[in-house]
Amino acid sequence: MNNPAKRQRGGIMILSGIVLTVLLAFGALAIDIGNLLMVRNELQNAADASAMAGAPCLYARSDCGNATATTPDWATAITRANNFIGQNKVQGTALSNATVTYGYWNMNGTPTGLQPSTITPGTYDYPAVRVTVSKEAGKNGGAVLMSLAHMFGLEDAAVTATATAVVSHPNALRPFPLVLDKCLYDTYWNYTTGSPKLATEVNPPGFDLPQVIGQPYFFKATSTYKVGACEAGQWSSLLTDSNSSNFIRDMITNGSPDVIALGDLLWIQPGSKNALYPVVNDCSGAGNKTCEYVRVPVVETIDTHSRQPVLAFACVRILSAESGSGKYILFQMSADPTNCQVSGSGVGPNYGVTTPARLVQ
Protein backbone atom coordinates (compact mmCIF):
# COMPACT_ATOMS: atom_id res chain seq x y z
CA MET A 1 0.00 0.00 0.00
CA ASN A 2 1.27 3.41 -0.91
CA ASN A 3 2.15 5.76 1.93
CA PRO A 4 0.04 8.98 1.67
CA ALA A 5 2.67 10.95 3.58
CA LYS A 6 5.36 10.00 1.05
CA ARG A 7 3.04 10.96 -1.84
CA GLN A 8 2.44 14.36 -0.18
CA ARG A 9 6.16 14.95 0.33
CA GLY A 10 6.79 14.12 -3.33
CA GLY A 11 4.09 16.59 -4.41
CA ILE A 12 5.58 19.32 -2.26
CA MET A 13 9.01 18.73 -3.78
CA ILE A 14 7.60 19.06 -7.32
CA LEU A 15 5.67 22.20 -6.36
CA SER A 16 8.75 23.66 -4.67
CA GLY A 17 10.75 23.05 -7.82
CA ILE A 18 8.16 24.85 -9.91
CA VAL A 19 8.01 27.77 -7.48
CA LEU A 20 11.80 28.04 -7.36
CA THR A 21 11.94 28.03 -11.16
CA VAL A 22 9.35 30.79 -11.34
CA LEU A 23 11.14 32.83 -8.67
CA LEU A 24 14.44 32.36 -10.50
CA ALA A 25 12.80 33.57 -13.71
CA PHE A 26 11.40 36.64 -12.00
CA GLY A 27 14.74 37.32 -10.33
CA ALA A 28 16.56 37.04 -13.64
CA LEU A 29 14.08 39.36 -15.31
CA ALA A 30 14.31 41.85 -12.43
CA ILE A 31 18.10 42.00 -12.71
CA ASP A 32 18.04 42.40 -16.47
CA ILE A 33 15.16 44.88 -16.46
CA GLY A 34 17.06 46.96 -13.92
CA ASN A 35 20.09 46.86 -16.21
CA LEU A 36 17.97 47.89 -19.21
CA LEU A 37 16.52 50.81 -17.27
CA MET A 38 20.01 51.95 -16.30
CA VAL A 39 21.12 51.80 -19.94
CA ARG A 40 17.97 53.64 -20.98
CA ASN A 41 18.71 56.43 -18.49
CA GLU A 42 22.30 56.72 -19.71
CA LEU A 43 21.14 56.90 -23.32
CA GLN A 44 18.54 59.52 -22.43
CA ASN A 45 21.13 61.64 -20.67
CA ALA A 46 23.34 61.39 -23.74
CA ALA A 47 20.50 62.34 -26.10
CA ASP A 48 19.48 65.26 -23.86
CA ALA A 49 23.02 66.60 -23.58
CA SER A 50 23.72 66.28 -27.31
CA ALA A 51 20.47 67.99 -28.33
CA MET A 52 21.18 70.80 -25.85
CA ALA A 53 24.70 71.15 -27.31
CA GLY A 54 23.43 71.38 -30.86
CA ALA A 55 20.41 73.67 -30.45
CA PRO A 56 22.28 76.92 -29.63
CA CYS A 57 24.20 76.59 -32.92
CA LEU A 58 20.96 76.92 -34.87
CA TYR A 59 21.56 80.65 -34.39
CA ALA A 60 24.60 82.75 -35.19
CA ARG A 61 27.16 82.37 -32.40
CA SER A 62 30.87 83.05 -32.36
CA ASP A 63 31.53 79.91 -30.29
CA CYS A 64 29.75 77.85 -32.97
CA GLY A 65 31.86 79.37 -35.73
CA ASN A 66 28.79 80.74 -37.55
CA ALA A 67 28.67 84.34 -36.34
CA THR A 68 27.51 85.59 -39.75
CA ALA A 69 24.58 83.16 -40.15
CA THR A 70 21.27 84.88 -40.90
CA THR A 71 19.07 81.77 -41.19
CA PRO A 72 18.84 78.63 -39.03
CA ASP A 73 22.20 76.91 -39.35
CA TRP A 74 21.08 73.31 -39.49
CA ALA A 75 24.47 71.94 -40.58
CA THR A 76 26.43 73.46 -37.69
CA ALA A 77 23.82 72.36 -35.15
CA ILE A 78 23.96 68.78 -36.48
CA THR A 79 27.75 68.76 -36.35
CA ARG A 80 27.83 70.09 -32.78
CA ALA A 81 25.25 67.52 -31.61
CA ASN A 82 27.09 64.64 -33.28
CA ASN A 83 30.43 65.74 -31.86
CA PHE A 84 28.98 65.78 -28.37
CA ILE A 85 27.78 62.18 -28.54
CA GLY A 86 31.29 60.82 -27.98
CA GLN A 87 31.54 62.66 -24.66
CA ASN A 88 28.87 60.37 -23.19
CA LYS A 89 29.25 56.79 -21.98
CA VAL A 90 26.86 53.86 -21.67
CA GLN A 91 27.89 50.89 -19.56
CA GLY A 92 31.31 52.47 -19.25
CA THR A 93 31.94 52.72 -23.00
CA ALA A 94 31.88 55.94 -24.99
CA LEU A 95 29.08 56.26 -27.51
CA SER A 96 30.13 56.40 -31.14
CA ASN A 97 27.06 57.37 -33.13
CA ALA A 98 23.58 58.87 -33.06
CA THR A 99 20.95 60.03 -35.52
CA VAL A 100 20.48 63.82 -35.59
CA THR A 101 17.47 65.30 -37.37
CA TYR A 102 16.14 68.83 -37.48
CA GLY A 103 13.14 70.96 -38.32
CA TYR A 104 10.64 73.27 -36.66
CA TRP A 105 8.90 72.64 -33.36
CA ASN A 106 5.63 74.38 -32.56
CA MET A 107 5.74 75.47 -28.93
CA ASN A 108 1.94 75.54 -28.71
CA GLY A 109 1.68 71.96 -29.92
CA THR A 110 -0.26 72.82 -33.08
CA PRO A 111 0.88 70.82 -34.93
CA THR A 112 2.68 68.31 -32.75
CA GLY A 113 6.03 66.75 -33.47
CA LEU A 114 8.99 67.86 -35.52
CA GLN A 115 7.98 69.66 -38.71
CA PRO A 116 10.17 69.74 -41.84
CA SER A 117 12.75 72.49 -42.14
CA THR A 118 11.20 73.44 -45.49
CA ILE A 119 7.99 74.90 -44.00
CA THR A 120 7.41 78.61 -43.69
CA PRO A 121 7.63 78.94 -39.89
CA GLY A 122 4.74 80.51 -38.03
CA THR A 123 4.90 82.71 -34.94
CA TYR A 124 5.50 79.83 -32.54
CA ASP A 125 7.53 77.53 -34.79
CA TYR A 126 11.12 77.36 -33.55
CA PRO A 127 14.16 75.66 -35.13
CA ALA A 128 14.86 72.43 -33.29
CA VAL A 129 17.42 69.63 -33.13
CA ARG A 130 16.42 66.04 -32.38
CA VAL A 131 18.94 63.41 -31.29
CA THR A 132 18.15 59.69 -31.27
CA VAL A 133 20.75 57.40 -29.75
CA SER A 134 20.41 53.62 -29.68
CA LYS A 135 22.19 50.60 -28.37
CA GLU A 136 21.24 47.90 -30.84
CA ALA A 137 22.73 45.72 -33.55
CA GLY A 138 25.37 47.74 -35.39
CA LYS A 139 25.12 50.78 -33.10
CA ASN A 140 27.15 51.67 -30.02
CA GLY A 141 28.45 48.19 -29.30
CA GLY A 142 25.27 46.32 -30.14
CA ALA A 143 22.18 45.48 -28.16
CA VAL A 144 22.25 45.10 -24.37
CA LEU A 145 23.21 41.56 -23.41
CA MET A 146 21.06 39.79 -20.85
CA SER A 147 22.78 38.47 -17.74
CA LEU A 148 20.30 35.81 -16.65
CA ALA A 149 17.25 36.11 -18.86
CA HIS A 150 19.14 34.32 -21.66
CA MET A 151 18.32 31.18 -19.67
CA PHE A 152 14.78 31.69 -20.94
CA GLY A 153 15.66 32.52 -24.52
CA LEU A 154 16.17 36.30 -24.14
CA GLU A 155 19.71 36.91 -25.34
CA ASP A 156 19.72 40.71 -25.75
CA ALA A 157 17.49 43.77 -26.14
CA ALA A 158 17.69 47.02 -28.12
CA VAL A 159 17.32 50.28 -26.20
CA THR A 160 16.68 53.74 -27.70
CA ALA A 161 16.30 57.29 -26.35
CA THR A 162 15.29 60.51 -28.13
CA ALA A 163 15.56 64.19 -27.14
CA THR A 164 14.50 67.40 -28.91
CA ALA A 165 15.86 70.83 -28.00
CA VAL A 166 14.87 74.34 -29.09
CA VAL A 167 15.95 77.88 -28.36
CA SER A 168 12.72 79.71 -27.58
CA HIS A 169 11.59 83.29 -27.01
CA PRO A 170 10.22 84.53 -23.68
CA ASN A 171 6.71 85.57 -22.79
CA ALA A 172 7.80 87.52 -19.71
CA LEU A 173 10.90 89.39 -18.48
CA ARG A 174 12.11 92.54 -16.71
CA PRO A 175 12.40 95.12 -19.54
CA PHE A 176 14.19 98.39 -20.07
CA PRO A 177 11.71 101.30 -19.59
CA LEU A 178 11.36 102.12 -23.30
CA VAL A 179 8.64 100.92 -25.69
CA LEU A 180 8.91 100.60 -29.46
CA ASP A 181 6.26 100.71 -32.14
CA LYS A 182 5.35 97.44 -33.91
CA CYS A 183 5.29 99.41 -37.17
CA LEU A 184 9.10 99.55 -37.01
CA TYR A 185 9.33 95.78 -36.79
CA ASP A 186 6.79 95.17 -39.53
CA THR A 187 8.95 97.32 -41.79
CA TYR A 188 12.54 96.61 -40.71
CA TRP A 189 12.45 93.14 -39.10
CA ASN A 190 12.70 89.83 -40.98
CA TYR A 191 10.13 87.61 -39.30
CA THR A 192 11.20 84.55 -41.30
CA THR A 193 14.84 84.62 -40.17
CA GLY A 194 14.22 86.28 -36.79
CA SER A 195 16.78 88.98 -37.47
CA PRO A 196 16.95 92.67 -38.41
CA LYS A 197 16.73 93.67 -42.04
CA LEU A 198 19.96 95.18 -43.27
CA ALA A 199 20.39 98.59 -44.85
CA THR A 200 20.69 98.54 -48.64
CA GLU A 201 21.57 102.20 -49.17
CA VAL A 202 23.30 104.96 -47.26
CA ASN A 203 20.44 107.45 -47.30
CA PRO A 204 17.16 105.49 -47.46
CA PRO A 205 13.83 107.38 -47.51
CA GLY A 206 12.37 108.21 -44.12
CA PHE A 207 15.69 108.37 -42.24
CA ASP A 208 17.40 111.53 -41.08
CA LEU A 209 20.75 109.82 -40.41
CA PRO A 210 23.07 107.84 -42.69
CA GLN A 211 23.04 104.05 -42.72
CA VAL A 212 25.78 101.47 -43.22
CA ILE A 213 25.05 99.11 -46.07
CA GLY A 214 24.87 95.51 -44.85
CA GLN A 215 24.30 96.51 -41.20
CA PRO A 216 21.01 96.69 -39.22
CA TYR A 217 19.28 100.05 -39.62
CA PHE A 218 20.06 102.85 -37.17
CA PHE A 219 17.02 104.44 -35.51
CA LYS A 220 16.36 107.44 -33.30
CA ALA A 221 13.91 106.81 -30.47
CA THR A 222 11.77 109.32 -28.56
CA SER A 223 8.33 110.81 -28.98
CA THR A 224 9.62 113.47 -31.39
CA TYR A 225 11.02 111.03 -33.98
CA LYS A 226 9.33 109.02 -36.70
CA VAL A 227 10.69 106.67 -39.33
CA GLY A 228 8.44 107.06 -42.34
CA ALA A 229 4.94 106.37 -41.04
CA CYS A 230 6.22 104.64 -37.88
CA GLU A 231 6.51 106.15 -34.42
CA ALA A 232 10.00 105.45 -33.11
CA GLY A 233 9.73 104.93 -29.36
CA GLN A 234 8.82 106.40 -25.99
CA TRP A 235 9.54 106.11 -22.28
CA SER A 236 7.34 103.81 -20.22
CA SER A 237 6.90 103.52 -16.46
CA LEU A 238 5.68 99.98 -17.21
CA LEU A 239 2.92 98.86 -14.83
CA THR A 240 2.98 102.06 -12.77
CA ASP A 241 1.01 105.16 -13.78
CA SER A 242 3.82 107.66 -13.37
CA ASN A 243 5.11 110.57 -15.44
CA SER A 244 8.18 111.03 -13.26
CA SER A 245 11.66 111.18 -14.82
CA ASN A 246 13.11 109.97 -11.52
CA PHE A 247 10.98 106.83 -11.70
CA ILE A 248 12.38 106.01 -15.16
CA ARG A 249 15.94 106.92 -14.12
CA ASP A 250 15.77 104.41 -11.28
CA MET A 251 14.71 101.64 -13.67
CA ILE A 252 17.51 102.53 -16.10
CA THR A 253 20.03 102.29 -13.27
CA ASN A 254 18.62 99.42 -11.21
CA GLY A 255 16.36 97.51 -13.58
CA SER A 256 12.62 96.97 -13.64
CA PRO A 257 11.01 96.05 -10.31
CA ASP A 258 8.31 94.12 -12.18
CA VAL A 259 8.27 91.11 -14.46
CA ILE A 260 6.26 92.14 -17.51
CA ALA A 261 4.30 89.55 -19.52
CA LEU A 262 2.76 89.54 -22.96
CA GLY A 263 -0.60 91.30 -22.80
CA ASP A 264 0.26 93.46 -19.80
CA LEU A 265 -0.89 97.06 -20.17
CA LEU A 266 2.04 99.48 -19.94
CA TRP A 267 1.87 103.18 -19.12
CA ILE A 268 3.33 105.30 -21.92
CA GLN A 269 4.76 108.54 -20.59
CA PRO A 270 4.28 111.87 -22.40
CA GLY A 271 7.14 114.24 -23.21
CA SER A 272 10.80 113.68 -24.00
CA LYS A 273 12.17 113.61 -20.39
CA ASN A 274 15.33 115.59 -21.11
CA ALA A 275 17.17 114.51 -17.97
CA LEU A 276 17.16 110.83 -18.97
CA TYR A 277 19.36 111.00 -22.05
CA PRO A 278 22.68 111.62 -20.24
CA VAL A 279 21.86 108.64 -17.99
CA VAL A 280 21.30 106.41 -21.02
CA ASN A 281 24.40 107.66 -22.80
CA ASP A 282 26.49 106.83 -19.73
CA CYS A 283 25.40 103.18 -19.85
CA SER A 284 25.15 102.81 -23.65
CA GLY A 285 27.69 101.46 -26.09
CA ALA A 286 29.32 104.89 -25.95
CA GLY A 287 29.55 104.69 -22.15
CA ASN A 288 30.16 101.81 -19.75
CA LYS A 289 28.03 99.41 -21.87
CA THR A 290 25.81 98.23 -19.00
CA CYS A 291 22.74 99.06 -21.09
CA GLU A 292 24.25 98.57 -24.54
CA TYR A 293 21.94 95.59 -25.15
CA VAL A 294 18.50 95.75 -23.57
CA ARG A 295 15.13 94.04 -23.91
CA VAL A 296 12.20 96.35 -24.60
CA PRO A 297 8.43 95.85 -25.00
CA VAL A 298 6.84 96.23 -28.42
CA VAL A 299 3.33 97.72 -28.58
CA GLU A 300 0.91 98.31 -31.43
CA THR A 301 1.05 102.08 -31.27
CA ILE A 302 2.90 104.59 -29.14
CA ASP A 303 0.04 106.77 -27.99
CA THR A 304 1.43 108.87 -25.14
CA HIS A 305 -0.31 109.21 -21.81
CA SER A 306 -2.20 105.96 -22.23
CA ARG A 307 -1.86 102.24 -21.62
CA GLN A 308 -0.86 99.84 -24.37
CA PRO A 309 -0.69 96.00 -24.32
CA VAL A 310 2.65 94.25 -24.80
CA LEU A 311 2.78 92.34 -28.08
CA ALA A 312 6.36 91.08 -27.92
CA PHE A 313 9.79 91.64 -26.40
CA ALA A 314 12.57 92.90 -28.64
CA CYS A 315 16.30 93.16 -28.20
CA VAL A 316 17.94 96.44 -29.16
CA ARG A 317 21.48 97.71 -29.08
CA ILE A 318 21.76 101.23 -27.66
CA LEU A 319 24.70 102.94 -29.31
CA SER A 320 24.44 106.35 -27.64
CA ALA A 321 22.01 109.03 -26.49
CA GLU A 322 21.90 112.70 -27.39
CA SER A 323 20.86 115.17 -24.70
CA GLY A 324 21.20 118.34 -26.79
CA SER A 325 18.50 119.97 -28.83
CA GLY A 326 17.61 116.72 -30.62
CA LYS A 327 17.21 114.50 -27.56
CA TYR A 328 17.17 110.95 -28.86
CA ILE A 329 18.45 107.42 -28.25
CA LEU A 330 20.41 105.95 -31.15
CA PHE A 331 19.80 102.22 -31.45
CA GLN A 332 19.65 99.19 -33.74
CA MET A 333 17.41 96.14 -33.68
CA SER A 334 19.40 93.09 -32.64
CA ALA A 335 19.25 89.32 -32.41
CA ASP A 336 22.72 88.84 -30.93
CA PRO A 337 22.55 85.32 -29.40
CA THR A 338 24.74 86.20 -26.43
CA ASN A 339 23.65 89.70 -25.51
CA CYS A 340 19.97 89.19 -26.32
CA GLN A 341 19.55 86.05 -24.21
CA VAL A 342 17.61 86.09 -20.93
CA SER A 343 17.09 83.40 -18.33
CA GLY A 344 13.76 81.66 -18.03
CA SER A 345 11.36 80.01 -20.43
CA GLY A 346 8.03 80.77 -21.99
CA VAL A 347 6.56 81.06 -25.44
CA GLY A 348 6.59 84.37 -27.29
CA PRO A 349 7.08 85.69 -30.81
CA ASN A 350 10.62 86.09 -32.15
CA TYR A 351 11.79 89.70 -31.98
CA GLY A 352 15.40 88.84 -31.19
CA VAL A 353 15.19 87.95 -27.49
CA THR A 354 16.00 84.30 -26.78
CA THR A 355 16.09 81.98 -23.80
CA PRO A 356 18.70 79.26 -23.25
CA ALA A 357 18.22 76.00 -25.14
CA ARG A 358 15.67 73.74 -23.53
CA LEU A 359 14.22 70.29 -24.05
CA VAL A 360 10.69 69.83 -25.36
CA GLN A 361 8.41 66.81 -25.66
Q: Report the pLDDT value the prediction gives residue 222, as an integer from 0 to 100.
A: 83
Dihedral, CA of residue 231, residue 233, residue 239 and residue 241, to nearest 10: -80
Mean of pLDDT values over 243-266: 94
- Neighbouring CB atoms inside 10 A of 315's CB total 24
Helix (H), strand (E) at residue 90: strand 89-90
Q: How far apart are CA 320 and CA 318, in angstroms?
A: 6
Q: Report the pLDDT value the prediction gives residue 163, as an integer from 0 to 100.
A: 97
- SS3 (DSSP) at 253: helix
Residue 10 has pLDDT above 70, yes or no: no
Q: What's the pLDDT band for 16 if we cut at 50, 70, 90?
A: low
Q: How far apart are CA 53 and CA 91, in angstroms?
A: 22
Choose the weakest-confidence range: 64-68, 82-86, 98-102, 357-361.
64-68
Q: Report the pLDDT value the prediction gives residue 184, as an integer from 0 to 100.
A: 94
Q: Report the pLDDT value the prediction gives residue 148, as an integer from 0 to 100.
A: 63
Mean of pLDDT values over 292-305: 90
Dihedral, CA of residue 292, residue 295, residue 297 and residue 298, to nearest 10: 80
Answer with the residue of higher pLDDT: 13 or 244: 244
Residue 95 has pLDDT above 80, yes or no: yes
Residue 256 has pLDDT above 70, yes or no: yes
Q: What's the pLDDT band for 11 if we cut at 50, 70, 90?
A: low
Cβ–Cβ under 8 Å, residues 239 and 264: yes
Q: What's the pLDDT band for 309 if we cut at 50, 70, 90?
A: very high
Mean pLDDT taken over the chain: 88
Q: What's the pLDDT band for 59 if we cut at 50, 70, 90?
A: confident
Q: Choose from 89-93, 147-151, 268-272 the range with maximum mean pLDDT.
A: 89-93
Q: Report the pLDDT value the prediction gives residue 96, as an integer from 0 to 100.
A: 92
Cβ–Cβ under 8 Å, residues 55 and 357: yes
Q: Which residues, 6+ apart, have CB-to-CB distance to 197 below 8 Å? A: 188, 189, 190, 216, 217
Residue 5 has pLDDT above 60, yes or no: no
Cβ–Cβ under 8 Å, residues 60 and 69: yes
Q: Report the pLDDT value the prediction gives residue 347, as an integer from 0 to 100.
A: 85
Mean of pLDDT values over 50-65: 90
- SS3 (DSSP) at 58: helix
Q: What's the pLDDT band for 343 if we cut at 50, 70, 90?
A: confident
pLDDT digits (tens, 9 = 90+) for 183-209: 999 999 998 778 899 999 999 998 989
- Neighbouring CB atoms inside 10 A of 339's CB total 14
Q: What's the pLDDT band for 225 if we cut at 50, 70, 90?
A: confident
Whole-model pTM above 0.85?
no
Q: Report the pLDDT value the prediction gives residue 9, as an integer from 0 to 100.
A: 54
Q: How far apart are CA 190 and CA 72, in angstroms?
A: 13
Q: Report the pLDDT value the prediction gives residue 76, as an integer from 0 to 100.
A: 95
- Neighbouring CB atoms inside 10 A of 56's CB total 22
Measured in whole angstroms, the distance separating CA 292 from the mean position of its chain's CA atoms is: 22
Q: Report the pLDDT value the prediction gives residue 161, as an integer from 0 to 100.
A: 96
Q: Which residues, 6+ apart, have CB-to-CB distance to 303 below 8 Å? A: 268
- Contacts of 286-291 with C-beta under 8 Å, sequence gap 24+, read 286/319, 286/320, 286/321, 287/320, 291/176, 291/252, 291/318
Q: What's the pLDDT band for 132 if we cut at 50, 70, 90?
A: very high
Choose the weakest-confidence range: 18-22, 54-58, 102-106.
18-22
